[in-house]
Amino acid sequence: MKSILSSRQLAITIRRLAHQILENHIDLEHTVLIGIQPRGIFLSDKIVSEVKKLLPRKRIQYGKLDITFYRDDIRKELHKANHTDITFPIENKNVILIDDVLYTGRTIRAAMDALLDFGRPAKVELCVLIDRRLSRQFPIQPDYVGKAIDSIVSQKVKVEWKKAEVVLY
């Protein structure tokens, strides 16, 4: 087991990601933030909290997206769905998808498919805490990255939110 981000580094990284999003979307007028269920929600909640600190009077459109039935790699098993909570239109909006770890790209592909049920965004960007660069099965790259790592297929990256750290197994 190897530590990738300590709790202090994790807090700084989340703050940086919030700042980077605001650099590109200064007023968030035409931008929505969407966390991917289930694990991306922990990160998206923290990023939205940081953005609210930076823009206390601004209304932030924040939703949560369940992709369970859009995945192409779990069809043989019955899975318990999470909850989608998107109460605003995404038509012609800039959508920032937020997830914890980008690995094969299958989760993000499924999220983009699921998004189309809510309209056609003007643009979709991706924010991830950890980018496992060498494992992609789809041509998907993040726009905002907490930390990029090189890992082998047999290794696992685990974001331990209760301990506030990221580890490589």
Tell me, what's the pLDDT at 82? 77
Provide the residue-wise pLDDT of the chain in tens; the chain has 169 residues: 889 999 999 999 999 999 999 999 998 999 999 999 989 999 999 999 999 999 999 999 999 999 988 877 665 555 566 789 999 999 999 999 999 999 999 999 999 999 999 999 999 999 999 999 988 999 999 999 999 999 878 888 989 988 888 998 8
Tell me, what's the pLDDT at 1? 84
Angle at the Cα of 103 (from 69 to 149), degrees rounded to 5?
160
Tell me, what's the pLDDT at 79? 59
- Domains in the chain, start-ordered, CATH in brackets? 2-168 (3.40.50.2020)
DSSP letter, residue 75:
T
CA 167 to chain centre: 18
Q: How far apart are the first and last CA of the chain?
A: 5
Asked whether the beta carbons of 47 and 74 are under 8 A apart, the reply is no
The overall pTM is greater than 0.75: yes
User: d(Cα 31, Cα 119) in Å, to the nearest integer?
Assistant: 14
Tell me, what's the pLDDT at 80? 63
Tell me, what's the pLDDT at 110? 95
Using alpha carbons only, how large is the chain's radius of gyration in Å?
Answer: 16
